[in-house]
Amino acid sequence: MICTRLEDWYERHGEEPFGPEWEDLLVHARSCPDCALAMQRRGELLETLRHLPAPEVPPQLGSLIGLALDGAPGAEAPDTTWFDEHLEPWLRPLQVGLAAACVVMTVFLGGLGREQPVGPASTPAGRLVARAPAIPRRPTPAPSPAPGERLVRISPEEVADFMRRLETYRRLHPEMDSHPAAGPAVQTVGFSGR
């Protein structure tokens, strides 16, 4: 693995080789061959650059840069095409309309499913509120017989006989069908129940 401690230091601090961190880096470079080689190559590169002559800057370069930054009036405008002249005016409103439609749909779809009434009294009249679908309950499995008991099979005739006797009992005892918490049974006017 190549040590990059010297290169990392130059990336953070640039050309300011002063301070306690620089001294620590020099101590490290004396014991690290990778950093020593990188320091030697950097020194050779800087020495070579010192011997090169400074490049000459053309006198009009500054004014050309200024004109380019200011938007030179002499710069040519690009040629306009049929598309630019006829279709471009229609595209801007279309783009704005599509963006607005996306925002409206996002707000609308984001708001669905959040309103859930507590009861019928909490829903204002005439207002529909989305409700979460009811989750069907799984049927509970029949209990298994206790050890030592055996299951008894009942024939359809026995079930039909039991249902007939239950219906007869209900006719003779109508109070059985009303819930005790509901209060006394009330008859409808003109209806005797027979």
CA–CA gap between residue 46 and residue 35 (Å, rounded): 16
- State the residue range of the domain holding 19: 5-51
pLDDT for 84 equals 77
**Which whole-number Å values give the CA distances from 194 to 152, 176, 191, in the listed order?**
38, 16, 8
Tally of domains in the chain: 1
Separation of CA 40 from chain center: 53
pLDDT for 133 equals 64
Q: Is residue 16 part of a domain?
A: yes
Q: Is residue 27 part of a domain?
A: yes
> For residue 166, which amino acid is it?
L
Which phi and psi angles does 144 have, rounded to 5°?
-80, 150
To which residue do tokens 């207002």 refer? 127
Q: Is residue 105 part of a domain?
A: no
pLDDT for 129 equals 55
pLDDT for 164 equals 93
pLDDT for 165 equals 92
pLDDT for 98 equals 93
pTM here? 0.30
* 38 contacts 15 by C-beta, under 8 angstroms: no
Mean pLDDT by 10 residues, the chain (194 residues): 82 75 84 89 89 86 83 62 79 90 89 60 54 68 71 84 90 73 51 51
